[in-house]
Amino acid sequence: MTILALEIGPSRFAVGRISETEGTQQMRVIAPPTRDVWAACRDLLIEVAGNDRITAVGIGASGPIDMAAGIIASAAIPEWRTGFAIAAAVREVFPHCVVMLALDGACHAMAESNLGSTRGELDTLTVHVSARVTGGLTVGGLTVVGRTGNAGHIGHVLVPGFDDICECGGHGCLEAVAGGTAMVRWSRARGWGGSSESALIDAAEAGDPTALAALERAGTALGRAIVSVAAVLDVGLVVVGGTVADAGSALWSPLGRAISDRARLGFLSGLRVVRSELGEDAILVGAGLIAVAVKASSQ
């Protein structure tokens, strides 16, 4: 019997396989297609499942989601922006399996709590910064999902000092400043010639002034948003992961300065912000952990 984990994000789709007898096995990753997203997900699932009997599938997806209904309505996936019933679609492929949909940030938080930087910590915030910005919360040692499954979606916290237009239709959202897609768009509008967040990070390392300015803005916005959320939730540890978190001092120095400048309340004085230990597979790992937990609870 085998469990599958599916990650659906703006910059990659991935499926991992967990055998109940042999542990974690193969993983397959592809770039998202521009159309027929479900066909790509279905083919990946079938390929990795092979001839095994699938007993559970955990899905970590870019939000917003409706966790109870198993629906993704992500602005990052235009084809599904009005809603796609992913859980029902997966059950058509594997009729007898348990399916659980969770926000990608919640999956990352679950992975960090069990295997990464927040092991043993009770109250934490996880921030995942790649093409988009998402996050997850651990309160009292448990990953919190909220009323609809979108708890911790820090990408749409409003950041003071910024008025960038967000794809959600708002102004000044963290994602509109610190998300990789937004940073590339901001930089290209100012003459930078690259086309990806990884190229932007490389350009910053090479000293390109526009790329450095984009990461300065992103780090500042991240620091301000983290302090705001930490002040509300009284968390002591924040983990930042995702591809943009690999930007080094160009991102982390302004992030640290923003936290030092804004964390003025006494109970925030011990706030720690650290890098994720799990790398780019954190969301997929968390989706697998959720699937294992849900399968165990259903037995």
Query: Which token pair is 167?
Result: 């794809």
The maximal CA–CA distance of the chain, rounded, in angstroms, is: 57
Cis peptide bond N-terminal to 78, omega within 30: no
Distance CA 147, CA 59 (A): 18
- Banded model confidence at residue 20, pLDDT cuts 50, 70, 90: low
The gap between the terminal CA atoms of the chain, to the nearest Å, is 14
Structural domains in the chain?
2-103+281-298 (3.30.420.40), 117-276 (3.30.420.40)
Neighbours of 27 (CB within 10 A): 16
DSSP 8-state secondary structure symbol assigned to residue 45: H
* Residue from 194, 164, 160 nearest 179 by CA: 164
What are the residues facing 127 on neighbouring strands? 135, 240
- Banded model confidence at residue 11, pLDDT cuts 50, 70, 90: confident
Determine the pLDDT at residue 18: 83
**Torsion sign (Cα): 235, 197, 217, 247:** positive
Q: Rounded mean pLDDT of the chain?
A: 92
Count of all residues that appear for the chain in the document:
299
Determine the pLDDT at residue 25: 57
Mean pLDDT over residues 1-17, rounded? Answer: 90
The owner of tokens 């948003």 is 225
pLDDT tens for 270-295 read 899 999 989 888 999 999 999 998 88
Mean pLDDT over residues 123-145, rounded? Answer: 96
Share of the chain above pLDDT 70, in %: 96
Give 3-state DSSP helix, strand, coil % of the chain, rounded to 5.
45, 25, 35
Mean pLDDT over residues 258-274, rounded? Answer: 91
Determine the pLDDT at residue 75: 82
